[in-house]
Amino acid sequence: MIAATGSLSPLATTRGRYHGVPVHRLGRLNVLVLTTSYPRWDGDAAGRFVADAVDRLRTHVDVEVVSAQSFRHFGIAYGHGVLGNLKRRPWLGALVPMMLGSFVHAARDAAARADVVHAHWLPAGWVAARTGKPFVVTLHGTDVELADRVPRLAHTVLRHARLVVAVSNAIAEAARRYGAADVRVIPNGVDVPPGDGHEAEPPYVLYAGRLSREKGILELAEAARGLPLVVVGDGPLRRHVPAARGVVPRAELEELYAGAAAVACPSRREGFGVTCLEAMAHGKPVVASAVGGLLDLVVDGETGLLVPPRDTRALRGAMETLLRDRDLRSRLGAAGRERARERFSWDAVVSATLSAYSDALAAQSPARTA
């Protein structure tokens, strides 16, 4: 198996303080969040992790959100995401300037009341730079692919941000390559359920996520032939997984996590790995590709099993190992649950985010020093 790399240890120093400055000294800041993805209704999975963070930040600061529900996005924002939509329907590219113009207009109106702007993803960072307010930008994963395609955009946004937040060490490294000076690794947070659930009999492996190439669903479908696999999610490759259940309500997903023997995260690339973290929080061992943000989450042989990406033989072997060894599942799952509680709690994530706002406000504008 493959050893995990990277560390999120800086979060351990931000619980309540950052660089010796008490977080409570921030007072009631006015924060404007800009995002192209945010839940449109109760139970909508789009941008759920952004909304979860906003909900918890509101205990400490006043937050206003400008999302794609606040401006005209011409069908570019939702569905497959901005980059995915542009790949599938290139003609939408002609509408991007209009979308960004509408986004800027809405953001500038809301920014009049803001002390600091927090943009999620590079396009929102470009908009944040036009509000005239200090801004922080969080990179989630697809930002790296967008940066590779439009490096000038990445350099412009990241050099003008007071501070850049990356949800994993892999994304942090990419941000530095594109000119970010001050980069913090602040992962997504997770709620740890009170129990790890009652494992179903017979045991099954769960996959929950987008049915697309980058998520490794084709490799998983091949590797799991004849194995008990439950697939939840939707996407462009659903026809290759006829037994997939599609998108299910959150309560049903929680039940599937609770009943699973293991959870598969076979991504070809991954900025963070929300499904992986949720599985760990439920006390489930994870079979994951040794890529990107998954390396921050899974410690090979301790909280799960890491395999090379696109290696169907290794993926199948790891799933078979967990399915036949209940004691191993129990040991890895318990360790994963504890890792989720210690390193990815919302208390730690919110504390680090508040400290990032404080430091961004104290920093000199990059535009003035460029």
CA–CA dist 143, 19 (Å, integer): 28
Mean pLDDT of 170-185: 94
Residue 219 has pLDDT above 80, yes or no: yes
Structural domains in the chain, CATH included, are 9-189+345-369 (3.40.50.2000), 205-343 (3.40.50.2000)
Confidence band (pLDDT; 50, 70, 90) for 88? confident
Instruction: Using the structure block, give the residue that is written with the tokens 């099954």.
Output: 204
User: The tokens of 97 are what?
Assistant: 């300037």
* pLDDT score, position 86: 64
What is the Cα 52 distance to its own chain's centre? Answer: 11
- Please give the residue that has the higher pLDDT: either 142 or 11: 142
Residue 68 has pLDDT above 80, yes or no: no
Using CA atoms, how far residue 281 sits from 11, 57, 71, 261, 262, in Å, is 18, 21, 35, 14, 12
Alpha helices, DSSP H only, in 112-199?
122-128, 142-149, 151-160, 169-177
**From its phi and psi, is residue 162 left (phi > 0), alpha (psi between -120 and 50) or beta?**
alpha
Give the lowest-confidence range in 44-53, 153-162, 180-189, 354-363: 44-53
Q: What is the mean pLDDT of the chain?
A: 87
* pLDDT score, position 125: 95
Residue 174 and residue 193 in contact, taking contact as beta carbons nearer than 8 Å: no
Closest alpha carbon to 305 in 290, 293, 291, 325: 290
**From its phi and psi, is residue 283 left (phi > 0), alpha (psi between -120 and 50) or beta?**
left
* pLDDT score, position 102: 85
* pLDDT score, position 143: 85
Alpha helices, DSSP H only, in 235-297?
250-259, 274-281, 294-297
Confidence band (pLDDT; 50, 70, 90) for 72? low
Residue 46 and residue 120 in contact, taking contact as beta carbons nearer than 8 Å: no
Residue 111 and residue 133 in contact, taking contact as beta carbons nearer than 8 Å: yes
- Please write the tens of the pLDDT for every residue from 270-321: 999 999 999 999 999 999 999 999 999 999 999 999 999 999 999 999 999 9
176 by DSSP, 3-state: which? helix
Residue 13 has pLDDT above 70, yes or no: no
Residue 1 has pLDDT above 50, yes or no: no
CA–CA dist 323, 333 (Å, integer): 13
Confidence band (pLDDT; 50, 70, 90) for 196? low
* Amino acid in position 311: D
Closest alpha carbon to 202 in 219, 227, 223, 233: 227
**From its phi and psi, is residue 81 left (phi > 0), alpha (psi between -120 and 50) or beta?**
left
Instruction: Using the structure block, give the residue that is written with the tokens 């990419």.
Output: 174
Residue 12 has pLDDT above 60, yes or no: no
Alpha helices, DSSP H only, in 298-345?
312-324, 326-343
User: The tokens of 66 are what?
Assistant: 């400008």
- Please give the residue that has the higher pLDDT: either 367 or 229: 229
**b/e map of 210-244 (b: 16 or more CB within 10 Å)?**
bbbebbbbbbbbebbeeeebbbbbbbebbeebeeb
